[in-house]
């Protein structure tokens, strides 16, 4: 069953794709049937810059255990950074 539940996020980031580094302005996060990952369902994250066209995209598909580990790893990494370094911008 597809939920079509998608989270859209504005980002300030860079990602390396097949043609080199691209500026990333948006992300979409959703749980659905994967395109390439061998599983019935997967958490997918698309990092993209719509103003640069469809080739300015990096996609990630993973199982639930990996998605939770990635989310926790991000939180743990940020928790270990001194507060003065976490200023936005």
Say what the pLDDT of residue 1 is.
Answer: 66
Question: Please, what's the b/e burial string for 30-60 (b: 16 or more CB within 10 A of its CB; e: otherwise)?
Answer: bbbebeebeeebbbbbbbbbeeeeeebbbeb
Say what the pLDDT of residue 7 is.
Answer: 96
Q: 17 is written with which tokens?
A: 């794709």
Say what the pLDDT of residue 88 is.
Answer: 61
Residue-wise pLDDT tens digits, 1-19: 677 789 999 999 999 988 8
Say what the pLDDT of residue 42 is.
Answer: 94
Residue-wise pLDDT tens digits, 38-78: 999 999 999 999 999 988 999 999 999 999 999 999 999 99
């Amino acid at each position: 069953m597809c939920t079509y539940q998608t989270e859209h996020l504005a980002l300030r980031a860079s990602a390396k794709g097949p043609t080199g580094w691209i500026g990333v302005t948006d992300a979409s996060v959703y749980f659905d049937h994967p395109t390439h990952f061998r599983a019935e369902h997967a958490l997918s994250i698309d990092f993209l810059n719509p103003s640069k066209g469809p080739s300015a995209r990096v996609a990630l598909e993973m199982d639930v255990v990996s998605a939770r580990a990635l989310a926790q790893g991000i939180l743990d990494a940020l928790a270990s950074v001194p507060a003065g370094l976490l200023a936005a911008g």
